[in-house]
Structure 1
């Protein structure tokens, strides 16, 4: 999977935070990184709020998101090189000083880079990816990968096989496999629609168990 870096310029205002959280959720969904959505949204909220509080309302700011190996990297760029984020041991009842503590709690690492014309506050989140261009492994995904490899080998001549299926080819193999399973079910007198409904129910239950209940922004 290709996860190309992207960035978004915005003005540091409280009403922008919700929009940035929605953009982050959308992009992470496309990237297949649903499991880190909550943590990524929290980091965006806190880093942007830090700019609003310590640099000022209306500050021209940029959100930049990329992959650093198997880690998700989130950067907030602002023009003030003097107001540096500080990790404070804020008390439970404190109204301030908790932002970077929250980032520190969920991120694998974070820091600040000073450029000639801007400050870059960044953090990186563990994604669970096996490789930078791979996907988050799970028992079902692992079994599916093994089945796809066997099915592809059975369907394709040896001189047409590749060591790794691209996404489009893999989708076609999945469609072929599902179609053949439906033929098998019908040949054995099974109710195809009932089996598909049960499979969908199982998938939705397992997906909910993996991602948990996530509120929309």
Structure 2
């Protein structure tokens, strides 16, 4: 596990303090969520997805992570969160865990409201998402499927089982 520090442009304040754990197909970052840290997290996510061959999922994954971390910053008293990204057979699963058991609310804002659309956008972009309340808070996760063929993913599963 490594600790990452990213100084601010002025060099006077740490904008990202995170503990990280990474291995092929799995990385986890525990961080104190600040608006200035979110672009750094997007970069780390993009880098890992590129290493894993999931560049095509990066834009949507970054947008989803931005929404979930922003929700932690805006709506959760403790700003500590854990971002977990895992490769699954047909794509990735992204989970943001925080210390609040309050479930996020999908809003239906009027056209003149400046906020409240994030979870609706997330729902439109991802293949699946949900919230699980845990003894210590909640996990909000989403899943993105890749556009790879069965052959690129390791062949047809029916053929593999019959071999």
Pair in the same fold by TM > 0.5: yes
Contact 2:89–2:153 (CA under 8 A) maintained in structure 1: no
Residue from 79, 86, 94 that aligns with 2:113: 94
C-alpha distance 93-127 of structure 1, shift in aligned 2 (>3 A) = farther
Query: Residue 74 of structure 1 corresponds to which residue in structure 2?
Result: 94
Moved over 4 A (4+): none
Which one has a larger percent helix, Structure 1 or Structure 2? Answer: 1
Query: Residue 36 of structure 1 corresponds to which residue in structure 2?
Result: 57
Query: Residue 126 of structure 2 corresponds to which residue in structure 1?
Result: 107
Provide, for residues 142-192 of structure 1, a one-character-per-residue CA deviation record: whole Å limited to 9, x for no partner.
Answer: xxxxxxxxxxxxxxxxxxxxxxxxxxxxxxxxxxxxxxxxxxxxxxxxxxx
CA RMSD of aligned residues (A): 2.1
SS at 2:49 equivalent: helix
Contact 1:69–1:131 (CA under 8 A) maintained in structure 2: no
Contact 2:92–2:144 (CA under 8 A) maintained in structure 1: yes
SS at 2:85 equivalent: strand
Correspondence 1:64 to 2:84: yes
Number of residues of Structure 1 aligned to a counterpart in Structure 2: 132
Q: Which structure 1 residue ranges, 5 or more long, are not aligned?
A: 136-217
Contact 2:106–2:120 (CA under 8 A) maintained in structure 1: yes
C-alpha distance 115-80 of structure 1, shift in aligned 2 (>3 A) = same
What is the TM-score normalised by the length of structure 2?
0.74
Q: Which structure 2 residue ranges, 5 or more long, are not aligned?
A: 1-22, 155-163
Query: Residue 8 of structure 1 corresponds to which residue in structure 2?
Result: 29
126-135 or 89-98: bigger deviation: 126-135
Counterparts of 1:21 and 1:10, CA distance in 2: 13
Query: Residue 203 of structure 1 corresponds to which residue in structure 2?
Result: none
C-alpha distance 130-3 of structure 1, shift in aligned 2 (>3 A) = farther
Which one has a larger percent strand, Structure 1 or Structure 2? Answer: 2
